[in-house]
Amino acid sequence: MSIELILVMFLIGFLGSFLSGMLGIGGSIVKYPMLLYLPPLFGVATYTAQEVSALAMVQVFFATLGGVWAYRKSDLIDKRLVLDMGISIVIGSLIGAYGSKFIPGEAVNLVYGIMAVIAAVMMLKPGRKENEEGEATGEPLTYPRGIGVGSSFIVGILSGIVGAGGAFILIPIMISVLRIPLRVTIASSLAIVLLSSIGGMTGKILAGQVIWAESTILIVSSLLGASFGAKMGQTAKRGFLQGTLATLILLTAVKVWYDILF
């Protein structure tokens, strides 16, 4: 492996996982295109879609693991919320992943596009500031558990169909529908995505699609990047975090529909 390839993979892992730790997303939205396009752009390697998917899945697991570890002493990860939504999204993603083989590729892309638009609209709609009041009260987190379990199950099915972690739509639901405080949402979503990524990474390993040399570099850089990102997420202003999340999700929606239409 060349030093150039090592540097490119380290950069991809660090930047993607920094965003993951800071914003509470799995990061495949960012990492997949970076892994697909940057190595050939720099002339260091070219990977198939299956190899990129496997590399991204491994990085998602370790990025969320690093983020959760960084948040472990912050009391921002709500264990009941993680169990409620984490278990149901895993079950839903298994169903969606299995059922995706019966769905035409065009329909899968359409589902992804619709999910991205819904997420962007939910993040951009006004009236979310009041849920931040609960961050400093120390009171137990309250939310409609039935809606939380049901919505994460549906997100899991859709995410399983399109092969995404689902955090980009799960986070807007947690903020806008369940009224979860932003920082609790970011920290808890990392733990939820960590649970949902276990099955995906295991499947990629069993399928023999993981390239271990590159994956090792991504693992190291992911743990470093996620740790720094999580620390910034705990101290950054809420407006900055909200704006960055909304921008990332909106750009995702634009890219998905551009790919569908053109």
pLDDT digits (tens, 9 = 90+) for 13-32: 999 889 888 887 766 667 77
Report pLDDT for 97.
Answer: 73
Which of 33, 55, 4 lies closest to 201 in space, CA to CA?
A: 55
Query: 133-162, pLDDT tens digit by residue?
Result: 445 445 668 889 999 999 999 888 877 776
Report pLDDT for 39.
Answer: 93
* Higher pLDDT pick, 225 / 116: 225
Confidence of residue 58 (pLDDT cuts 50, 70, 90): confident
Give me 33's structure tokens.
């295109």
How would you label 198-220 residue by residue, b for 16+ Cβ within 10 Å and e otherwise?
eebbeebeeeebbeeebbebbbe
Cα 244 to Cα 63: distance, rounded to the nearest angstrom: 18
Q: What is the CA radius of gyration of the chain?
A: 17
Q: What's the structural domain count of the chain?
A: 1
**What percentage of the chain has pLDDT greater than the value 90?**
21
Query: 31-50, pLDDT tens digit by residue?
Result: 777 888 899 999 999 988 77
Confidence of residue 130 (pLDDT cuts 50, 70, 90): very low
CA distances from 181 to 49, 59, 123, 189 (A): 36, 27, 13, 12
What range defines the domain where residue 182 resides? 3-261
108 contacts 161 by C-beta, under 8 angstroms? yes
* N-term to C-term CA, the chain: 36
Query: 62-104, pLDDT tens digit by residue?
Result: 888 888 998 888 888 999 999 999 999 888 888 877 776 777 7
pLDDT at 109 over 80: no
Please tell me what DSSP assigns to residue 173: I
**Token pair 């819904």 in the structure block, residue:** 118
